[in-house]
């Protein structure tokens, strides 16, 4: 029988990207690690988020490619979809990654405990197993990484039938014929793009005046225009009010649109007139209005860990909570809810435990990738945010329409937009933001991300050669144009 240490160097609650990254990085530094997970290691990202979503989006991409094959002289016959096969492939990809992760944890001698962890006083963690037995673990350090769950809105409680969360969608074996997507952020737009490409009639209902409001306005416009061209109905500025099932297979969603603009010269009325009431009847309603931290029951009152009103665990820049020796990482803290941000936070936490110097995560400059068609990728300030922050900016856009590889691939929609600080005499100062929309931009952001975080000057970046013909030439062209002279763009 293997005797487990009574006390581990690190006890981690939650085996998603932030938790398992803490375990792997900590173990690589020689720390003894206990990882507590109530479901499967890999968390939302692997089982109910990034990985399954991108698999479905890849199916959409493949479908588009096959449908456009005749353009390349390739005859395919009628293109059809068996979505359950895509779901099966998705499961295989997940299983393979899950197996790989379990093997990695085992090789690093991370001890995993199956159950729900809860932090008490003095960095002790009670683990309640599936059979109700409680195991107590003590850690020199404890890391909270219990993640987040989809948020719902009044009148739209998840029922797994009509009102669906991202978890439900990613478990689909069959696509609905019609769907309303409430919330046009990253998740809503990715799902809308995927469903529409695979034949679902999609309507997006977004409360704010535009889709993808965290993105640069001109980038979001490219996606919105593409959506409209592909038959997705985009309703912005709406308030959804409720839904009522109809005939067992569909439900009617009610919402109000902003009032139609008054004809010019009409005196304004106060209060503003009510919006137009509208309805839409669909087979599925996907609610994608954000995710909330999963912090209920996670810590006892005497743990010393403070939780904000919104449920986030409060941390400083080293990811340490208000309780010394207790850290929190990932979606549980109020930082961008991205797996790669969780990885970075895990490294910061472990280095802090080891007493090493750390570079805190610069949240304003993390990479963002949205896998809609067309894809979006960016890092740093948008033009509007830079102006609002008081910068004098200079921008340049190079469109993929003039890029030879984009023409060869057959995807010329989109651009690379650089936002730089205005330098002396109209020259460009340091790069503040790089914003991309178009073919494979999620794979091209690396250079943009480095430019922003190195605070490079466009002239410095432009001196690096981009291979020809590649999509990445548009990035190089945009930087070159900001030096005052350009080749093609
Ligand atoms: P989000 O915060 O990105 O977008 C939610 C959208 O819903 C916003 O546009 C908001 O205005 C809208 N909304 C809120 N309440 C509404 C209402 N009552 N009616 C209509 N619209 C409403 O959240 P989302 O898309 O659910 O994603 C959650 C998190 O997951 C994000 O923070 C994102 O960081 C992460 N994520 C990132 C992805 C990526 O980078 N590729 C993909 C998926 C998720």
Ligand 1, atom 28: nearest CA belongs to which residue? 290
- Taking the CA of residue 153 as reference, the ligand 1 atom at the shortest distance is 18
- Taking the CA of residue 166 as reference, the ligand 1 atom at the shortest distance is 26
Strand bridging mode 148-150 / 134-144:
unpaired
Domain assignment of residue 369, yes or no: no
Domain assignment of residue 399, yes or no: yes
Domain assignment of residue 154, yes or no: no
Of 186, 194, 445, the residue with max ligand 1 atoms within 8 A of its CB, to mutate for a pocket test, comes to 186
- Answer yes or no: do 167 and 116 share one domain: no
Which residue, 363, 387, 408, sits at the end of a domain?
363
User: What pLDDT tens digit does each residue of the chain (489 aa) get?
Assistant: 555 556 999 999 999 999 999 999 999 999 999 999 999 999 999 999 999 999 999 999 999 999 999 999 999 889 999 999 999 999 999 999 999 999 999 999 999 999 999 999 999 999 999 999 999 999 999 999 999 999 999 999 999 999 999 999 999 999 999 999 999 999 999 999 999 999 999 999 999 999 999 999 999 999 999 999 999 999 999 999 999 998 889 999 999 998 776 667 766 666 656 678 999 999 999 999 999 999 999 999 999 999 999 999 999 999 999 999 999 999 999 999 999 999 999 999 999 999 999 999 999 999 999 999 999 999 999 999 999 999 999 999 999 999 999 999 999 999 999 999 998 887 899 999 999 999 999 999 999 999 999 999 999 999 999 999 999 999 999 999 999 999 986
Q: Is 240 in the pocket of ligand 1 (CB under 6 A)?
A: yes
pLDDT at 427: 86
- Answer yes or no: do 297 and 281 share one domain: no
- The token pair that represents 465 in the structure block: 């050669």
- Answer yes or no: do 283 and 305 share one domain: no
- Answer yes or no: do 390 and 434 share one domain: yes
Of 289, 332, 334, 374, the residue with max ligand 1 atoms within 8 A of its CB, to mutate for a pocket test, comes to 289
Nearest to 173 by CA among 268, 86, 74: 86
CATH value at residue 391: 3.30.390.30
**Which residue is listed with tokens 């160097």?**
9
- The token pair that represents 265 in the structure block: 């010269």
- Taking the CA of residue 185 as reference, the ligand 1 atom at the shortest distance is 4
Domain assignment of residue 486, yes or no: no
Q: How many Å lie between the centroid of ligand 1 and the Cα of residue 17?
A: 19
Domain assignment of residue 1, yes or no: no
Q: How buried is residue 6: exposed, middle or buried, by Cβ count under 10 Å (0-12/13-18/19+)?
A: exposed
Domain assignment of residue 197, yes or no: yes
The boundaries of the domain holding residue 396 are 374-481
Q: Is 180 in the pocket of ligand 1 (CB under 6 A)?
A: no
Domain assignment of residue 17, yes or no: yes
Cis peptide before 240, with omega less than 30 degrees from 0?
no
- Answer yes or no: do 348 and 433 share one domain: no
Ligand 1, atom 37: nearest CA belongs to which residue? 186
- Answer yes or no: do 318 and 395 share one domain: no
Please give the model's pTM, rounded to 2 decimal places: 0.95
Which residue, 312, 337, 363, sits at the end of a domain?
363
Q: How many Å lie between the centroid of ligand 1 and the Cα of residue 169?
A: 15
Please state, in angstroms and rounded to a whole number, the distance separating the CA atoms of residues 201 and 168.
18
Q: How many Å lie between the centroid of ligand 1 and the Cα of residue 117?
A: 28
- Answer yes or no: do 397 and 331 share one domain: no
Q: How many Å lie between the centroid of ligand 1 and the Cα of residue 213?
A: 9
- Answer yes or no: do 22 and 134 share one domain: yes
Q: How many Å lie between the centroid of ligand 1 and the Cα of residue 189?
A: 9
Q: Is 178 in the pocket of ligand 1 (CB under 6 A)?
A: no
Q: Is 182 in the pocket of ligand 1 (CB under 6 A)?
A: yes
- Answer yes or no: do 380 and 399 share one domain: yes
Q: Under 8 Å CB-to-CB from 383, ≥6 apart: which residues?
A: 216, 217, 218, 393, 395, 417, 419, 433
Q: Is 311 in the pocket of ligand 1 (CB under 6 A)?
A: no
Do 270 and 167 meet the contact criterion of CB atoms below 8 Å apart? Answer: no
Catalytically annotated residues:
468
The count of domains in the chain is: 3
CATH value at residue 251: 3.50.50.60
Domain assignment of residue 420, yes or no: yes
In whole angstroms, what separates CA 13 from the centre of its chain?
Answer: 22
- Answer yes or no: do 120 and 183 share one domain: no
Ligand 1, atom 8: nearest CA belongs to which residue? 185
- Answer yes or no: do 145 and 11 share one domain: yes
- Taking the CA of residue 240 as reference, the ligand 1 atom at the shortest distance is 19
Q: Is 375 in the pocket of ligand 1 (CB under 6 A)?
A: no
Of 148, 185, 368, the residue with max ligand 1 atoms within 8 A of its CB, to mutate for a pocket test, comes to 185
- Answer yes or no: do 10 and 143 share one domain: yes
Which residue, 220, 253, 287, sits at the end of a domain?
287
Q: How many Å lie between the centroid of ligand 1 and the Cα of residue 170?
A: 16
Q: How many Å lie between the centroid of ligand 1 and the Cα of residue 182?
A: 9
Computed on alpha carbons and rounded to an integer, the radius of gyration of the chain in Å comes to 25
Q: Give the other-Cβ count within 10 Å of 92's Cβ.
A: 10
Q: Is 336 in the pocket of ligand 1 (CB under 6 A)?
A: yes
Q: How many Å lie between the centroid of ligand 1 and the Cα of residue 312?
A: 17
Please state, in angstroms and rounded to a whole number, the distance separating the CA atoms of residues 454 and 167.
37
């Amino acid at each position: 029988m293997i005797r487990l240490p009574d006390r581990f160097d690190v006890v981690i609650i939650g085996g998603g990207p932030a938790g398992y990254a803490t375990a792997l990085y900590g173990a690589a530094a020689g720390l003894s690690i206990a990882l507590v997970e109530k479901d499967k290691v890999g968390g939302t990202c692997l089982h109910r988020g990034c990985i399954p979503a991108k698999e479905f989006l890849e199916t959409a991409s493949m479908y588009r490619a096959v449908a456009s094959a005749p353009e390349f002289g390739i005859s395919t016959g009628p293109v059809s979809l068996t979505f359950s096969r895509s779901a099966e492939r998705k499961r295989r990809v997940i299983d393979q990654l899950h197996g790989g992760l379990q093997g990695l944890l085992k090789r690093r001698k991370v001890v995993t405990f199956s159950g729900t962890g809860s932090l008490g006083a003095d960095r002790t963690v009670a683990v309640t197993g599936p059979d109700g037995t409680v195991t107590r673990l003590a850690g020199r350090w404890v890391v909270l990484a219990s993640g987040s769950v989809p948020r719902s809105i009044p009148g739209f409680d998840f029922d797994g039938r009509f009102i669906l969360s991202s978890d439900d969608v990613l478990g689909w074996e069959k696509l609905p014929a019609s769907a309303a997507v409430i919330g046009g952020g990253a998740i809503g737009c990715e799902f809308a793009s995927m469903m529409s490409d695979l034949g679902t009639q999609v309507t997006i209902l977004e409360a704010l005046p535009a889709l993808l409001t965290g993105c640069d306005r001109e980038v979001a416009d490219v996606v919105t225009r593409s959506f409209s061209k592909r038959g997705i109905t985009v309703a912005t500025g709406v308030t959804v009010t409720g839904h009522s099932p109809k005939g067992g297979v569909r439900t009617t969603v009610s919402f109000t649109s902003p009032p139609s603009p008054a004809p010019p010269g009409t005196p304004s009325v106060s209060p503003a007139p009510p919006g137009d009431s509208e309805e839409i009847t669909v087979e599925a309603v996907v609610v994608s209005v954000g995710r909330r931290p999963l912090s209920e029951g996670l810590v006892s009152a005497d743990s010393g860990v403070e939780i904000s009103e919104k449920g986030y665990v409060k941390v400083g820049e080293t990811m340490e909570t208000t309780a010394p020796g207790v850290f929190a990482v990932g979606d549980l803290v109020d930082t961008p809810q991205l797996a790669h941000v969780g990885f970075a936070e895990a490294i910061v936490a472990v280095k802090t435990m080891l007493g090493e110097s750390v570079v805190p995560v610069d949240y304003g400059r993390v990479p963002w990738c949205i896998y809609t068609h067309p894809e979006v990728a960016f890092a740093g300030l948008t033009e509007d945010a830079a102006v609002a922050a008081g910068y004098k900016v200079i921008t340049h856009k190079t469109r993929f329409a003039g890029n030879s590889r984009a023409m060869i691939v057959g995807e010329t929609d989109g651009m690379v937009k650089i936002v730089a600080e205005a330098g002396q005499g109209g020259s460009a100062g340091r790069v503040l933001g790089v914003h991309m929309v178009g073919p494979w931009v999620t794979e091209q952001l690396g250079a943009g991300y480095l430019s922003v975080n190195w605070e490079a000057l466009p002239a410095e970046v432009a001196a690096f050669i981009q291979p020809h013909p590649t999509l990445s030439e548009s990035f190089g062209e945009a930087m070159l144009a900001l030096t005052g002279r350009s080749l093609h763009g």
